[in-house]
Amino acid sequence: MSSVRFYSGERFRTADFAEAGTVCAVTGLDGTYAGQGIGSIRNSDRAVLEPVMTYRVGFPPEKNAYDVLRDMRRLEDEDPQLHIVWNEQLREIHIQLMGAVQLEVLGSIAEDRFGYPVTFDSGVVAYKETISAPVEGVGHYEPLRHYAEVHLLMEPLPQGSGIVLGTSCSEDKLDRNWQRLILTHLEEKTHIGVLTGSPITDMKITLAAGKAHLKHTEGGDFRQATYRAVRQGLRSAQSVLLEPYYDYELEVPSEFVGRAISDLQRMSAEFSAPETVGEMSVITGSAPVSELGGYQSDVVGYTRGKGRLSCVNSGYRPCHNAEEVIAAIGYDCDNDLENSADSVFCSHGAGFIVKWDEVPEKMHLPSCFAEETDSSESGKQERVRRFYERAATDEELMEIFERTYGKIDRDPRRAFKRTRVESDYSKPVKLPDYEGPEYLLVDGYNIIYAWEDLRRIADNNLDAARAELVKIMCNYQGYAGCEVILVFDAYKVKGRHRDVERYYNINIVYTKEKETADSYIERVSRELSVRHRVKVATSDGPEQLIIFGNGAMRIPAAELLDRVREADRAIREYIGK
């Protein structure tokens, strides 16, 4: 944000802030949209108008598709009725809006603003998909030195509910950081269905279970597992194709009521008994957008200009001719490589693909529909059988070892035999010589959610919790005397560049897009540990192990809290003297 303006006609005055209840203009904003909340206000969906038609955007051949996409995104930010969709496979720009009138206005605005014409095809109805019954989706991603497994419970919701995300997975089984990452991957992408490739809706997706590897799991592994779990669940479910409907009011001269009712029946419309108002009859009801979309011109024609049709979007319902639409679109979900439902497992040190319908037989975690309390003899035998099926043989382990470290020439049994070496404690231990100051790297959001007081603040206002942590670390730095680097995760912010700012006596880092705080801390700790004593404060168990391997010291969140309290106590005693 660069300025706040108060307009009076064509003139305006600038100010540093705007009080509640005043109307102002704000310049220099980036990434905003209609209905976005400011400060502690939650985002609203009341400003969003659901489009019902999709058109392919055409542009001059000398223009780059990505430049046109950027210009269309700018128009999308200004108008909540526009939805821009980029089809990566076809490298096409699609725009979703309400009808032909908006197309004419949009074409004129685009040529005036950007200096080149854009065209639109005839357009198709914007379909959506949902499921009819609860289903479990499983995604497994385990090429060599990678590992992640995700189990999702997918349940249908009432019409108009959209996508609702949640988790029922215990933090004892999957760390909170991994759970937040999985929910982020569910939210960051528009997941498409398996019938026509249309977006899914009216569904609750709950993280039921997940599994990570202490050493080999990376953030991108859970992205792959999550996407595959969604698609595997959709392939396993009974999907339902949805289409948009209009609530309409048709007013025609009474002599044309028979023609109107005949047309409405042909269009699979629902309608009430006609009401006579003078010489006119009014029919109300609902009908599919695909059938009613061009009916206005027919009404004008057969009523000689006396008829009138008004429509209001009424949401999505099951498609009245689903089989016909699915056949016409011809979407092949098996060949959609960008949205695969298959999983990747590892055997003999190499990854291999498992088809979506065979994944439940090979998954490493039990189904979320399974009875975990099954203590019968048959239940125990089934668990033992699955354990032995997943366990690697000695030959497989030896093959993996030789692929990684090379062929073993001597007797394999002696290769793994340990020999006891007597330790000599008489020699002094030489500690590394460090140069310069000591560094303390703090994983900001990890500490906020690990400390009870800050977590309560974050539940109401995350910005306030972040500001409180900054103040605490400033006080602690003054007592400890080390260089404090406070790192905040901004990898979900599109177009974000890494920001490093000096705030009083500490350094604050906001990571760039697609860069997590963990990856930044790992890299910086490895670089600084060469010449400096480095400590890292985080409650993330896997992250602590990686930090320790980089040569840095680990400080759990609880221990850092004790140190902060001790520093605060010492400062108060010094001031009181």
Segment 515-559, tens digit of pLDDT: 788 888 888 888 888 888 889 998 776 666 667 666 788 888 888
Task: Please report the pLDDT score of residue 61 as a whole number.
Answer: 87
Q: Who wins on pLDDT, 387 or 68?
A: 68
Percent of the chain exceeding pLDDT 90 equals 28
Domains and CATH numbers, the chain: 53-126 (3.30.70.870), 131-156+213-368 (3.30.70.240), 375-416 (no CATH), 439-576 (3.40.50)
| pTM for the full predicted model | 0.58
| Band of residue 431 on the pLDDT scale cut at 50, 70, 90 | low
Alpha carbon 535 to chain centroid distance? 32
Task: Please report the pLDDT score of residue 372 as a whole number.
Answer: 46
Task: Please report the pLDDT score of residue 343 as a whole number.
Answer: 93
Is residue 552 within 8 Å of residue 523, measured between CB atoms? no
Q: Who wins on pLDDT, 446 or 52?
A: 446
**Position 279 pLDDT exceeds 70:** yes
Task: Please report the pLDDT score of residue 413 as a whole number.
Answer: 54
Lowest mean pLDDT among 144-153, 388-397, 555-564: 388-397
CA distance 151 to 469: 35
**Position 292 pLDDT exceeds 90:** no
Most confident of 55-64, 380-389, 421-430, 513-522: 55-64
Lowest mean pLDDT among 41-45, 106-110, 259-263: 41-45
**Position 162 pLDDT exceeds 70:** yes
**Position 73 pLDDT exceeds 90:** no
Lowest mean pLDDT among 117-126, 421-430, 439-448: 421-430
Task: Please report the pLDDT score of residue 545 as a whole number.
Answer: 65
Cross-strand bridge partners of residue 488: 510
Q: Who wins on pLDDT, 101 or 77?
A: 77
Dmax over CA atoms of the chain, in Å, equals 112
Cross-strand bridge partners of residue 196: none
Burial class (CB in 10 A: 0-12, 13-18, 19+), 131: buried
**Residue linked to tokens 């001269």:** 253
Task: Please report the pLDDT score of residue 407 as a whole number.
Answer: 67
CA distance 522 to 519: 5
SS3 111: helix
How much is the average pLDDT of 164-180?
Answer: 90
How much is the average pLDDT of 448-457?
Answer: 90
Q: Who wins on pLDDT, 31 or 483?
A: 483
SS3 501: strand
Lowest mean pLDDT among 80-94, 136-150, 230-244, 250-264: 80-94
CA distance 375 to 359: 25
**Position 232 pLDDT exceeds 90:** yes
553-555 and 506-510: which strand pairing?
Answer: unpaired
CA dihedral 263, 269, 273, 279 (to 10 degrees): -40
Q: Who wins on pLDDT, 301 or 349?
A: 301
How many Cβ atoms sit within 10 Å of the Cβ of residue 489?
20
Tokens of 505: 């006596």
| Band of residue 371 on the pLDDT scale cut at 50, 70, 90 | very low
Task: Please report the pLDDT score of residue 440 as a whole number.
Answer: 93
Alpha carbon 353 to chain centroid distance? 25
**Position 256 pLDDT exceeds 50:** yes
How much is the average pLDDT of 105-118?
Answer: 86
∠ Cα 515 556 175 (to 5°)? 60
pLDDT in tens, 561-572: 999 998 888 888
CA distance 561 to 538: 11
**Position 204 pLDDT exceeds 90:** yes
The amino acid at 327: A
Residue 143 vs residues 209, 380, 392, 430, 531: alpha-carbon distances, Å: 20, 30, 16, 41, 36
Is residue 217 within 8 Å of residue 542, measured between CB atoms? yes
Residue 202 vs residues 95, 129, 318, 466: alpha-carbon distances, Å: 22, 8, 12, 34
How much is the average pLDDT of 431-455?
Answer: 84
| Band of residue 209 on the pLDDT scale cut at 50, 70, 90 | very high
Is residue 199 within 8 Å of residue 128, measured between CB atoms? yes
Is residue 204 within 8 Å of residue 100, measured between CB atoms? no
Task: Please report the pLDDT score of residue 193 as a whole number.
Answer: 93
| Band of residue 577 on the pLDDT scale cut at 50, 70, 90 | low
How much is the average pLDDT of 395-422?
Answer: 60
How much is the average pLDDT of 91-97?
Answer: 82
**Position 481 pLDDT exceeds 90:** no
Among 170, 163, 168, smallest CA distance to 186 is for 163
SS3 558: helix
Q: How high does pLDDT run on average in the chain?
A: 83
**Angle, nearest 10°, between helix axes 541-549 and 517-528?**
20
pLDDT in tens, 5-19: 999 888 889 888 888
